């Protein structure tokens, strides 16, 4: 059996491969990366490094050849770019006749009104159309996404949000990586959808957990979207990113990530890492 992970030098992809190497011989693993030179450490461990670029389908034909189980990690970029890239990857997987596709999607993807949803909706539909057995790993939200806010608190700033009382199922990328590895190496995951969500928390609850970790008061500043954008701009966030950050806050406020699920337990035999422990890890990394 040959397993391939795309985007394997990225933050999530590297964690998936690292996790797989704990239970799968390196000779059974391959990675598809745009820049193979960035994967030399994996090659040195015996992992097969293949060049593959979602913008160049012909490279994917070679990258996916002879692969039994494939993990497509969703790409970065604007929605139009991501839809094209995800479609290219799925079509190449079909041409290569891979036996199974796992895909890192978004929470409640098909019904989601979040602005990030269209590329995931397109990818899921494209995978279904291939007829290849699949598993959609609908990742709720990475706790690492809050790194800038945590750094702000460490520097003495309040926790700023326009998400109101919206709840999020935050979890560490490592938890999502272990779930993906479990699906790639386990049995019985054909044609499944996993809503991978940690314990649902509001911004206040997350900030409260952070306060306990830091043993200091963390004030929460609830603002409207315009004020939020202005504060982020003054904090040094590039102008082009501001609309995206505001849309994320809006999506959370409207309940797009309020998805209760025990699917982490199904795949890992445990819930997602408790938020206090997870925040403690992040604080250590950021300090």
pLDDT digits (tens, 9 = 90+) for 132-164: 999 999 999 999 999 999 999 999 999 999 999
Only one residue has tokens 């991501």, namely: 82
Quickly count: other Cβ atoms within 10 Å of residue 262's Cβ: 10
Cα pseudo-dihedral 223, 228, 230, 233, rounded to 10: 150
The string of pLDDT tens digits covering residues 235-253 is 999 999 999 999 999 999 9
Closest CA to 177 of 2, 3, 1, 8: 8
Pairing of strands 134-139, 100-106: parallel
Question: Which pLDDT band, with edges at 50, 70 and 90, does 53 fall under?
Answer: very high
Rounded CA separation 212/215 (Å): 5
Helix (H, G, I), strand (E, B) or coil at 192: strand
For all residues of the chain together, what is the average pLDDT?
Answer: 97
Domains of the chain: 3-139 (3.40.50.720), 140-172+198-259+273-287 (3.90.25.10)
The string of pLDDT tens digits covering residues 191-245 is 999 999 999 999 999 999 999 999 999 999 999 999 999 999 999 999 999 999 9
Half-sphere exposure of 113 (CA within 13 A, CB side): 9
Query: What does residue 263 show for φ and ψ, rounded to 5 degrees?
Result: -70, -25
Only one residue has tokens 């040195």, namely: 44
Please tell me the predicted confidence (pLDDT) of residue 151: 94
Partners of 193 in the beta sheet?
Answer: 136
DSSP annotation of 202 reads -
């Amino acid at each position: 059996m040959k397993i391939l992970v795309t985007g394997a030098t990225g933050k999530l992809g590297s964690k998936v491969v690292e996790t797989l190497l704990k239970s799968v011989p390196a000779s059974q693993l391959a990675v598809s990366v745009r820049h193979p030179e960035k994967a030399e450490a994996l090659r040195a461990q015996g992992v097969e490094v293949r060049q593959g670029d979602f913008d160049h389908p012909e490279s994917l034909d070679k990258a996916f050849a002879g692969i039994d189980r494939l993990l497509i990690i969703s790409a970065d970029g604007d929605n139009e770019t991501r839809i094209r890239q995800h479609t290219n990857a799925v079509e190449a997987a079909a041409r290569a006749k891979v036996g199974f596709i796992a895909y890192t999607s978004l929470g409640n993807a098909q019904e989601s009104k979040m602005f990030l949803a269209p590329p995931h909706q397109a990818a899921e539909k494209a995978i279904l159309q291939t007829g290849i057995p699949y598993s959609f790993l609908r990742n709720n939200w990475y706790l690492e996404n809050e790194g800038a806010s945590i750094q702000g608190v460490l520097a003495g700033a309040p926790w700023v949000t326009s998400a109101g009382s919206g709840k999020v199922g935050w979890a560490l990328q490592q938890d999502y990586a272990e779930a993906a590895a479990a699906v790639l190496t386990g049995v019985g995951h054909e044609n499944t959808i996993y809503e991978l969500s940690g314990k649902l928390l509001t911004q206040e609850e997350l900030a409260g957990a952070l306060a306990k970790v830091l043993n200091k008061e963390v004030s929460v500043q609830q603002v409207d979207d315009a004020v939020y954008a202005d504060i982020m701009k003054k904090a040094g966030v590039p102008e082009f990113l501001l609309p995206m950050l505001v849309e994320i806050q809006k999506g959370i406020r409207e309940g797009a990530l309020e998805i209760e699920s025990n699917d982490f337990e199904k795949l890992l035999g445990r819930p997602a890492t408790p938020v206090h422990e997870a925040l403690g890890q992040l604080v250590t990394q950021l300090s």
